[in-house]
Amino acid sequence: MGNDSFYKQMVDRNIGVLSNEEQERLRNSCVAVGGCGGMGGLSIVQLVRLGVGRIKIADFDTFQVHNLSRQCRSTSKNVGRNKTEVISEYCKEINPELKMDIFLDGVKPKNVEKFVDGADAVIDGMDYTYIEDTVALYRLARQKGLCVVNPNAIGFGVSVLVFGPKTVSIEEYFGLSADAKRAEIEKLAPYIPTYADKEIMRKAAMKEINIPNIIMPQNLGTAVAVSEAVMILLGRVEPPAGPNPRIFILDLQDRKFVVTG
């Protein structure tokens, strides 16, 4: 089966929601996804199945047993393997003609130019532990006029932030210094569920324990994030007008859904 025939059959059910012209645009587009864990990995696979033709992915981390509860392609057989390699293999099985650029060291200030170059959209699924890498990614995307979509899971809900050329920078919004460290990241959750255990949240914010996470919000958050990134890319919705980022807040237990910006 020729590549063109394969691709058309693969995305056949997209047509009707997407036009043929939009599908072809996605085929010729590039999306950069930082992080291949919970949010990043699921975002990547959705983009592949949607028919995006080129995807850049980056993660230095390996799969661990505790990832099995929520991260895409985490299996007992993949424990110890680099997440980027595992995800890229899986994506090529879905779409053999897919172009993938992999960054085994993750997104770093030294390689962020290469990572963002040629991208039409950016999704941030990275760990805030390495805030200097996050800031470098957002700064360069901003310089290139790109939006960055960032999904975060909390409890039975998600928050998704969309930064764009007309919004304040991530440093300005969160009050981060140029060399921000982990202690300055306490404002990164725009919504705290009413049912959240305050002591657990405090310990997680202080890095005394790992941030609790379950699988369902990972799928929920990436569905919102990928939809928003693709709709902006296709011109179906406008980038955030600023000055604040666009924020989606959706919590299933609190029955709360809010979009600002």
- pLDDT, one tens digit per residue, over 85-100 is 999 999 999 999 999 9
Domain 19-260 CATH assignment equals 3.40.50.720: yes
Domain ranges of the chain: 19-260
Percent of the chain at pLDDT above 90? 80
Q: What is the pLDDT of residues 3-61, one digit of tens each?
A: 789 999 999 999 999 999 999 999 999 999 999 999 999 999 999 999 999 999 999 99
Measure the N-to-C terminal CA separation of the chain; round to a whole number of Å: 45
Taking only the tens place, the pLDDT of each residue in 131-167 is 889 999 999 999 999 999 999 999 999 999 999 999 9
What pLDDT shows up at residue 196?
86
- 189 vs 75, more confident: 75
Q: Dihedrals φ, ψ of 157, to 5°?
A: -145, -175
Model confidence band, residue 210 (pLDDT cutoffs 50, 70, 90): confident
Q: Report the pLDDT value the prediction gives residue 245, as an integer from 0 to 100.
A: 97
Residue positions counted in the chain: 261
